[in-house]
């Protein structure tokens, strides 16, 4: 990996949690709590920073990605569209669909998503059978909080859309395709006023690194942290696209990391348990670790 040695770091496992496909971790600053999802289990998990067991809610359909909603609850990309979710104290979920692109239907769902620095929700679609390698995924912007609704596709031809992130100043947008046939991360110039990416260019080709570029996080230095799915590592790339750190993880398939905690100095890392994984394996675990750098606050949807 370009002469960068893989580092081992101390971590703590979140007890009582084993996900089939853990994804989309986020830090809810107002609640001082972490949220993440388990896609096929249709679960949304929550862990308070101040202690106590993690708890979960079960949705009526798969939840792939989430962000904090400024009016309370979460905005989510799901099987049949983008929803506003409110998690009830009794364990139920109130769901209101906000928008849906026309290609969603049997075999399709949303995948990776998050808000830009202006509070617009971005998410991409994918064909769920990854073995089919169908390049039918598209990337959308939902700007309902500002009256804009759902955009036309702003990127298309994606197999497994992933890796959405924005630089700390919001001027650069990142997007990956984590399918084994792609394994690329792209950078775009981002017009924050219009909410439009342009000048797409290759940022990193993961064919020369370990794993596939799954979910991503941005730190305060503007570096891009990619979950190296199938590579058992977190990879940190500078804004110039140079690998400068690699953190070893105790599972083969990390899926996404997110900075949080009161000082934004803790990474919560989700993972995937492949079929046949042992119950004693770390596959599907959720970890907390401190990488020695801080993240940047995420903007709630509609803020």
Q: What is the pLDDT of residues 88-115, one digit of tens each?
A: 999 999 999 999 999 898 999 999 999 9
- How far, in Å, CA of 253 to CA of 274, rounded? 8
Q: Quote the pLDDT of residue 278.
A: 65
β-strand pairing of 243-248 with 6-8: parallel
* Cβ contact 98:84 at 8 Å: yes
Residue scoring higher pLDDT (142 or 52): 142
- How far, in Å, CA of 135 to CA of 164, rounded? 18
Residues 270-279 pLDDT 10s:
999 988 776 5
Coil/strand/helix, residue 141: strand
Q: Quote the pLDDT of residue 145.
A: 54
* Cβ contact 248:260 at 8 Å: no
The reported pTM is 0.95
Mean of pLDDT over the chain: 94
176 DSSP β-pair partners: 162, 185
128-141: average pLDDT: 95
**Residue closest to 54 by CA, chosen among 76, 25, 96:** 25
Coil/strand/helix, residue 207: helix
Q: Quote the pLDDT of residue 3.
A: 60
Residue scoring higher pLDDT (5 or 244): 244
Structural domains of the chain ordered from first start: 6-289 (2.120.10.30)
- How far, in Å, CA of 109 to CA of 80, rounded? 7
Q: Is the pLDDT of residue 1 over 80?
A: no
Longest dimension (CA), the chain: 52
Q: Quote the pLDDT of residue 210.
A: 85
Lowest mean pLDDT among 125-139, 186-200, 279-293: 279-293
State the residue for tokens 């809610």. 57
Q: Is the pLDDT of residue 128 over 60?
A: yes
Q: Quote the pLDDT of residue 138.
A: 97
252 pLDDT tier (thresholds 50, 70, 90): very high
* Cβ contact 27:259 at 8 Å: yes
Q: Is the pLDDT of residue 234 over 60?
A: yes
Rg for the chain, CA atoms, rounded: 17
Q: Could you list the active site residues?
A: 214
Q: Quote the pLDDT of residue 146.
A: 55
Burial class of residue 8 (count of CB atoms within 10 Å of its CB; 0-12, 13-18, 19+): exposed
Residue scoring higher pLDDT (122 or 209): 122
Q: Is the pLDDT of residue 237 over 70?
A: yes
């Amino acid at each position: 990996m370009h002469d960068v040695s893989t580092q081992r770091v101390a971590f703590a496992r979140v007890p009582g949690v084993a996900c089939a496909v853990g994804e989309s971790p986020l830090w809810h600053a107002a609640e001082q709590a972490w949220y993440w999802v388990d896609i096929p289990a249709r679960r949304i998990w929550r862990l308070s920073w101040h202690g106590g067991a993690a708890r979960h809610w079960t949705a009526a359909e798969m939840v792939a990605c989430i962000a904090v909603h400024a009016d309370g609850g979460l905005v989510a990309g799901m099987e049949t569209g983008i929803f506003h979710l409110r998690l009830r104290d009794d364990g139920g979920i109130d769901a209101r669909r906000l928008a849906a692109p026309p290609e969603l239907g049997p075999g399709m769902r949303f995948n990776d998503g998050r808000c830009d620095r202006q509070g617009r929700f971005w998410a991409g679609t994918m064909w769920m059978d990854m073995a089919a390698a169908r390049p039918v995924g598209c990337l959308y912007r939902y700007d309902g909080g500002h009256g804009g609704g759902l955009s036309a596709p702003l990127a298309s031809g994606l197999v497994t859309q992933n890796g959405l992130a924005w630089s700390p100043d919001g001027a650069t947008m990142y997007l990956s395709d984590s399918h084994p046939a792609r394994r690329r991360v792209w950078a775009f110039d981002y017009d924050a006023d219009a909410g439009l990416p342009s000048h797409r260019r290759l940022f990193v080709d993961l064919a020369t690194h370990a794993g596939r570029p799954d979910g991503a996080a941005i730190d305060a230095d503007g570096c891009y942290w990619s979950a190296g799915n199938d590579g058992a590592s977190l990879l940190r790339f500078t804004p110039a696209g140079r690998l400068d750190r690699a953190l070893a993880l105790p599972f083969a398939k990390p899926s996404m990391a997110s900075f949080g905690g009161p000082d934004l100095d803790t990474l919560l890392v989700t993972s995937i348990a492949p079929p046949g994984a042992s119950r004693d394996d770390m596959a599907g675990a959720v970890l907390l670790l401190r990488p020695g750098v801080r993240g940047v606050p995420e903007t709630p949807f509609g803020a």
